[in-house]
Every structure is written in C-alpha cells, then in structure tokens.
Structure 1
Amino acid sequence: MTEFDFIRLYLQCQQQDSELVLGIGDDAAIIRPRNGYDLHFSTDMLVGGTHFFPDVAPADLAHKVLAVNLSDMAAMGARPRWALLSVALPELNKDWLTAFCDALFTLAARFGVTLIGGDTTKGNWVFNVNIIGETPYQQALRRDAAQAGDDIWVSGLLGLAAAALDRHWNKVTLPATVFAQCEERRLRPEPRVALGQELLSLAHAAQDISDGLAQDIGHILKASKVGAEINADLIPTLTALAQQPSLTVAQLRHWLLAGGDDYELVFTATPAQREAIIAAAERTHTPVTRIGVITTGTQLHLHDHAGNVIQLQQQGFDHFG
C-alpha cells in the first residue's frame, strides 16, 4: 500500500458540510466560515513512548488522538467543526489502519467533525491533529476573564489516568476492577464539548485539564491576574480509588492535583450561577464539583478540610522538565 492509497482508501471520507467548499484531495482545504462566528484553531501532538505505549490498541489511540483536541474546543465553549490529521507511521498495516480509522471517524461523527486534510510520512509513531471550531462572535470562554469571588468548578473525576500510568510503571498496586476504570479514562477521555457550550453564558473563564489541575488552573490565574483557594479534599475522584488502603494521602493528592491526562474542564463563575451550572451539568450528563474560589492576589493556595496547607513538589507535567 502506498501513502496515496492510504489517503484515498482510509481518510478521504467526505461528510456533508455546508461551510466546507473543498476537502481532502487538493493542495489545501477551503472553508467558508459563517457570518457572526469566531473561528478557533488548536493543535495537539501525540508521540509514541511519551503519550502512548507502543502496544496501544489502534481504536484506543484514534479515540485519544482526536479527543484531546476536542477537549481544547470544549474549554473555549466552541463547537468543533473541522480537523487535519498528520501522522508518521513505521508501516501501513491494513488491519491496524482499519481499526484506527473506524474509531477516528466514529468519534468525529459523534461530535460533527469533518476531516479536511493533513499529511502522512514514514516515521516512528507521531500523530498531530489541527482542529478548528467556532463560537458566536465574541462569546468564547477564555483564560483571562476569571474574577475575584468566582467559584472554581471541575467536571468529571480527576486522577484516574495518572493512577493508571503509575500502575503501568509498577509504582502502585490496584485491584483489577479499579485499574480497569482508571485505564478506560486514560485511554478514552471524554471531551466535555456539550458542557463547554452550555458554559458560554454562565462561566467567566475555563481551561481543560491536560497537564495537572494545579498547573492548568495556574494558566487561568496568570492570564486573569488573580489568585485561588482550593480545598484538595473536595476534588472529585473515583471512590474505589480513593479508598485503596495501600495508597498514601500524598500519592492520591499528587494524582488529583498534578497527575494530568484528565481532559476535564476547570472553570470559574460567579456564585449567582450555581443553580444554572448544576442544571447545565444535568442536561449534558456531566458531573461537576465546586472545589474553591478565585481570590485577589496572584497565588494558588491549596489546603485540606482542616485548613492544613498542602505543598506540591510539582504542579503538573512538563515535556522538558
């Protein structure tokens, strides 16, 4: 199979899209954006040995490759529309490619995303997605709009992906049932796109949690020039994981605050929006939890229920750290 056979047989699956003038098959795609909307552009790269294990199932890899980019759109409250996929593969294996592309297009169809281009080359397992989304004019969620007095919320459960990774590296032991639930979150994160769009009229600032809660909310604090108080004991996680007798409190808190790979949302909103946010969470079938408050100043302060200060050795993942 040649590179062009791969593109023609596996990737050139045009979906109906009124704004897509020209998709895969030319030197560039053509999009005619709608009046009254802002476009959002984001990209994420996954590298074998860093972001995924070499023996990962192709369907799981395809899901994550696209899901982490959908999560960026969710954090802006954007509707994802189009994606470009660039890949470096050591070989073109038909069975592997079929499983990968079936899962990729299944997730893309679920969120209304059309694949409009990209690039392919022979290399050692690299996947890069460029994603484009849209929000109504000047309504996007941003990092620089948090205000003192805002509640801090998170979606879903945190720490599961980090726990699964530590189990892979034999740093911890977990019962098979608990590990399976953590591994499912690591392999197949759920992009909170619907919640993000609901938050457009409710939240001030938002960010997706990819590198660790403490580090990622730090981006909001820096952009908004504010501080935060977070009660670590309020951060939601899998009950069965938190109750493992072999885990130390420090280990669990590291997963929750600095583990990363969660792809949940952290967002801020005025207390007056609490009921509306809970209603939005129910409409989108997304659990949300209030974990703290935005403060004046510029520092992030972490504590437990008793008011004890929590110090972190690291706040999140750094590729060059």
Structure 2
Amino acid sequence: MGEFELIAQFFTRPQHPLGPGVELGIGDDCALLAPTPGMRLAISSDMLVQGRHFFADVDPRSLGHKALAVNLSDLAACGARPLAFTLALALPQADAAWLKAFAEGMFALADQHGCALIGGDTTQGPLNICITVFGEVPPGQALLRSGAQVGDDVYVSGTVGDAHVALQVLLGHVTLDDATFAKARQRLEQPTPRVALGQALRGIATAAADVSDGLVGDLGHILKQSGVGATLRAQDAMQLLAACAVSTGATGQFASKNASFISPELHLQSVLAGGDDYELVFTASPANCAAVQAAALASGTPVHCIGQIEAAPGLRVVDSAGQPVAQGVKAFDHFAPHKG
C-alpha cells in the first residue's frame, strides 16, 4: 500500500462535512481555515512516541483516541472550541487492520467535538504520532497560566492518578482486581479531554493548565507564570484517585474508601505526579465558587477544590494538621531517565 492510497483509504472522508471554520481540507498542499471573525486562533501540538508514551501492543483504536485527546485537552485548558487538526504519522509498515482501528478511534473522538482532519503527512519509520490542533476563543477570554491571584482556590476536574496506577499494573509493579484495573486502564488509554468545561470556565477561572505530566508539575507551571505559590491539602487531593473513592453527590465530591491494594506512597505519587490524566487544574476567586460549580454542572464534569494560591513562592502539600508531606514528589520529565 502506497502513501497516497493509505491516506485516501483511512484518513480521507469525502462525504463527511468539514464543519464551521474549515474552507478546505485534505487534497491540496495546504488546508484553509476561516475562523469566526474577531476570534483568536488557539494552536497546540503533541507527539506520542512508541516506547515513551505507549506500549507497542496498545489497542490501536484506543491509541487513535488518545492521540487526539491529548491535543484537545490543550484546547480545553485554553478555553477554546476545537476547529480542526493535522496528523503526521510515521509507521513501521502499512498494516490495514491497525490503520482502520486507529482511524476509527481518532475520528470517533473528532466527531464528538466537531474537529475535522484537514491534512498532515505519513512516512515509514518507528511508530510516532504528531497531531496539531486548531481552535478558536473570543478575544480576552483565553484561559492562560499567568492569571492566578493570591487568595484564589485551586481546583482539579474529574479524577487524577488512575492512569499512573494502571501503568504500574502494566509494568508489573502492582496488582489490581480485573474490574478496577479495567477502569484505571481506560483512564490511561482513553482519557477524556475536558473541552466543555474549559469553555464554561471562560471569565470564571483566573488560570488553567491541563494535567498531562502530573498535578504538581502542571500546577507548578501556573505558579511560575503567575508569580505566586500555593498550598495543597493532601487529604483532599487523595480523594481524586477514582479507584479509591466513590461519588457522593452530583457535584462530584468524594468520600474515602479502602485503598489497601496500593501503598500510601504509590497512592500519593499517583495523584500528585502520575501524569497522563488530561484533566484541568485551574484557579478561581472564592467569590466565583458558585460559578465554578455551575460550569461543572453545565459541562457534566465534577470539580474539586484542593488548595489555595498564596503569595509565598513554591508549592506546599500539607496534611490535615498543616504539616508538610510529599517531599521529593516530582512530575514527569520527558528527558529524565525513564523508570516506568
């Protein structure tokens, strides 16, 4: 199968509408975008490399989903509405069954968000997936990392830590029952980009980032860009691991359950620094607490307040008595030695 046959068979959708904001898609040297007049373009790229970001035997349908999800998560963190994306794909070989499943997983998520594939490139080589996504956001309403203010509350959407626990199971470091592992593995391989929540938080959140490399690391980006510090409550953060919690209400508040299947150290490491969650960490004034909860309800996404922004630089994690915990917990670094 040649390159152009591959593109035509698996990635060209002639009967599928491109959607608003896209004038020309696949077939020419360039695509043409026509964003809504007055809007600002939001653009982000992410790369997934076999052996670094996913296992060789991962389900290709799940991989197609995740490849796009990690990019849509960046748009969510900016408060942007998705428009379109490009795909650059290096393949060891043109495996028709693999390509069909990969494309189906990718397009299923793309269709959920009205995001059209408008171009890209394919070549032979080690499996490598690079997507660039395009979105739009009204002027002055983009969620940035630089707006956190002293006194703001720190929130996290959904659950965090489950993807890291699933990774530890796959690496043979820990054992879970089948049902719990299946749920955790779905969080690792098919994350949910919080696009609707990001848009609902425009004008409410003061700063935001997506949780891709670990909660402490990605919140740390907000603190650095905003010139502030923060204190997180470990007791509240620990409830964010879905495998160790049950929902107790429509707002998504959680009550603790027995977490004996993993050590307390792994529990804390997974929540604070596990990565691959693709949730949103954001800040908002306490005066906007009701508005945050309304945005969460409107987007169907639970949110949890786990700390406050402070003037003193740095990030502190404390227990219920105010004593520091989690010293030495570090977020994922792509150029650090990979230990799984």
Report the TM-score when normalising by structure 1: 0.97
| Pair 1:136-2:151 in alignment | no
Q: Tell me what 2:251 maps to.
A: none
Q: For each residue in 1:197-231, what CA deviation from the matched residue of structure 2 results, as whole angstroms up to 9, or x when unmatched?
A: 00002110000000000010000000000000100
Amino acid aligned to 2:278: Y
Structure 1 runs (4+) deviating above 6 angstroms are none
Q: Tell me what 1:80 maps to.
A: 82
Q: Distance in 1 between matches of 2:62 and 2:144?
A: 30
Q: Tell me what 1:8 maps to.
A: 8
Q: Distance in 1 between matches of 2:36 and 2:76?
A: 19
Amino acid aligned to 2:297: E
| Pair 1:296-2:300 in alignment | no
Q: Distance in 1 between matches of 2:225 and 2:205?
A: 16
Unaligned runs of 5+ in 1: none
Q: Distance in 2 between matches of 1:175 and 1:240?
A: 13
Q: Distance in 2 between matches of 1:4 and 1:187?
A: 29
Q: For each residue in 1:57-78, what CA deviation from the matched residue of structure 2 results, as whole angstroms up to 9, or x when unmatched?
A: 1100000000000000000000
Q: Distance in 1 between matches of 2:154 and 2:244?
A: 25
Q: Tell me what 2:280 maps to.
A: 265
Specify whether residues 70 and 144 from structure 1 end up closer, same or farther in structure 2 by C-alpha distance, changes over 3 A only. same
Specify whether residues 314 and 17 from structure 1 end up closer, same or farther in structure 2 by C-alpha distance, changes over 3 A only. same
**Conserved in 2, the CA contact under 8 Å of 1:214 and 1:257?**
yes
**Conserved in 1, the CA contact under 8 Å of 2:268 and 2:326?**
no
Q: Tell me what 2:51 maps to.
A: 49
Instruction: Indicate the SS of the match to 1:200.
Output: coil
Q: Distance in 2 between matches of 1:6 and 1:106?
A: 19
Select the residue among 37, 51, 73 that pairs with 1:71: 73
Q: Distance in 2 between matches of 1:152 and 1:313?
A: 21
Question: How far apart are 1:244 and its partner, in Å?
Answer: 2.9
> Which range moves more in the overlay, 56-65 or 19-28?
19-28
Question: How far apart are 1:246 and its partner, in Å?
Answer: 4.1
Instruction: Indicate the SS of the match to 1:83.
Output: strand
Q: For each residue in 1:6-52, what CA deviation from the matched residue of structure 2 results, as whole angstroms up to 9, or x when unmatched?
A: 11121121523343222111111111222110101100000001111
Q: Tell me what 2:200 maps to.
A: 198
Q: For each residue in 1:172-216, what CA deviation from the matched residue of structure 2 results, as whole angstroms up to 9, or x when unmatched?
A: 121211111110100110000000000002110000000000010
Select the residue among 196, 216, 219 that pairs with 1:217: 219
Question: How far apart are 1:128 and its partner, in Å?
Answer: 0.2
Unaligned runs of 5+ in 2: 246-256
Select the residue among 235, 238, 243 that pairs with 2:242: 238
Q: Percent identity at matched positions? A: 46
Instruction: Indicate the SS of the match to 1:143.
Output: coil
Amino acid aligned to 1:319: H
Amino acid aligned to 2:88: S
| Pair 1:147-2:162 in alignment | no
Q: Tell me what 2:129 maps to.
A: 127
Question: How far apart are 1:314 and its partner, in Å?
Answer: 3.5
Instruction: Indicate the SS of the match to 2:316.
Output: strand
**Conserved in 1, the CA contact under 8 Å of 2:82 and 2:114?**
yes
Instruction: Indicate the SS of the match to 2:205.
Output: coil
Q: For each residue in 1:72-108, what CA deviation from the matched residue of structure 2 results, as whole angstroms up to 9, or x when unmatched?
A: 0000000011100000011111111111111211110
> Which range moves more in the overlay, 259-268 or 99-108?
99-108
Q: Distance in 2 between matches of 1:179 and 1:46?
A: 23
Q: CA RMSD in A?
A: 1.2
Q: Tell me what 2:249 maps to.
A: none
| Pair 1:31-2:27 in alignment | no
**Conserved in 2, the CA contact under 8 Å of 1:225 and 1:297?**
no
Q: Distance in 2 between matches of 1:260 and 1:19?
A: 32
**Conserved in 2, the CA contact under 8 Å of 1:84 and 1:117?**
yes
Question: How far apart are 1:239 and its partner, in Å?
Answer: 4.6
* Pairs within 5 Å for 1:276-287: 276-287=291-302
Question: How far apart are 1:317 and its partner, in Å?
Answer: 0.4
Report the TM-score when normalising by structure 2: 0.92
Amino acid aligned to 2:242: L
**Conserved in 1, the CA contact under 8 Å of 2:228 and 2:310?**
yes
Q: For each residue in 1:255-306, what CA deviation from the matched residue of structure 2 results, as whole angstroms up to 9, or x when unmatched?
A: 0001101100000000011111112111211110000000002211111122
Question: Number of matched residues?
Answer: 321
Q: Distance in 1 between matches of 2:267 and 2:111?
A: 36
